[in-house]
Structure 1
Amino acid sequence: MSHHVDVHVGKRIRHRRWLLAMTQQQLAEQVGIKFQQIQKYETGANRVSASRLWDIADSLGVPVSFFFEGLANAQGELAPVTPHGAHLPRSILPDADGAGSKDLMGDREAMDLVRTYYAIPENQRRRLFDLARVLSDAA
C-alpha cells in the first residue's frame, strides 16, 4: 500500500513533467534511470529517495519543496507555496468549508489550459488573467 505522501510527490512530478511537455523517457534519461522507474514514482508505487528527488527537481527546474506543496500535515495545514510554485495551481484546492475539492491538476483539460496559458507572452497573459478575474467576479 502506498503512503499518501509518496502518491502526492508522484503526482507533483507528473504534473510538472507534463507542464514542461517532457516525456517519462526524457526525464529518466536526465536523471539516469529507466522510464519504468519514473512511472513507479509518479503512481506512488515506489518511494523517491532524497537524492533522486533532488535530481528530479533539478531536471524539472523546481526546488525540492515544490513536490510537497499542497500536502496537508496532521493538523490539516497545507504546505506553503514557494516562489517557484506560486504561479501553479495547487494539487488540492480547499473549498469554502476547508475540504478538498476536485484535483484540478489531475484533469487533462485543466493541465492543457495551464500549459497553453503559460505559452502566451507575459504582457498578454497578464491582460487575459485580469479579464478572467473580472469574468469570474461577475458570475
Structure 2
Amino acid sequence: MTNIDVLIGARIKGRRIALKISQTKLAEAVGVRFQQVQKYESGANRVSASRLLMVAETLGVPISYFFQGLDNAGSADSTDVQPSARATAPMNALSDARVSEILALVETLPKEQQMAVLAFLRTLAKTTESEPV
C-alpha cells in the first residue's frame, strides 16, 4: 500500500458517500464485489487504470479527480522514499475519509455556495488560532 493508493481510495469513498451510493451499488457498476470496493477505499488494494476509469464514470467525475492533491507523485509512490512535508500534508488530509467527504460534498455545491463555505472555514480557522491553548 502506498500513499497514492490510500489517497485514491479516500477520494473514491468520499465521492461515493457524497453521492449516497453504497459500496454494493458501486461494486455492481464496476464489476467487482463490495469487499473489493472496501479494499480500494482503504488503499489495501491498488485500483487498475481501467477499473479506476469505470469508477470515475460511475461517480461522475473525471479520472483526474482521484489525483487531486498530489504535487509530488514521484516520491509519494514509493514507500521507501520520504515525500516532502509539503507533499505529505495534502495527502494526509485527503486520506482522512472525513476530509474527502467534505471535499466531495463541497464540489456538489454551486460556486457561490462553495465560496461561502471557504469563507466560513477561513473565519473558523482564524477563530481557532486566536484561542489560548
Shorter-chain TM-score range: 0.5 to 0.7
Q: How much does 1:62 deviate?
A: 0.6
Query: 1:34: which partner in 2?
Result: 33
Query: 1:17: which partner in 2?
Result: 16
Output the aligned Cα RMSD: 3.8
How many residues are matched? 119
- Corresponding letter in the other structure for 1:22: I
Question: Is this contact kept in 1: 2:15–2:59, CA < 8 A?
Answer: yes
Task: Give CA deviations for 1:51-106 in whole Å, capped at 9, x if unaligned.
Answer: 10110000000111111110231688xxxxxxxxxxxxxxxxxxx9x955972673
Query: 2:3: which partner in 1?
Result: 4
What TM-score results when the alignment is normalised by the length of structure 1? 0.62
Q: Which has the higher helix share?
A: 2
Of residues 125, 130, 139 in structure 1, which corresponds to 2:113? Answer: 125
The percentage of counterpart residues that share the same residue type is 41
Question: Is this contact kept in 2: 1:25–1:34, CA < 8 A?
Answer: yes
Instruction: Flag the structure with more relative contact order, 1 or 2, with Cα contacts below 8 A and sequence separation at least 6.
Output: 2
Which consecutive segments of 4 or more residues in structure 1 shift more than 4 A? 98-102, 116-119, 126-131, 133-139
Asked if residue 115 in structure 1 is aligned to residue 114 in structure 2, the reply is no
- Structure 1: 5+ residue stretches without partners: 77-95
What TM-score results when the alignment is normalised by the length of structure 2? 0.64
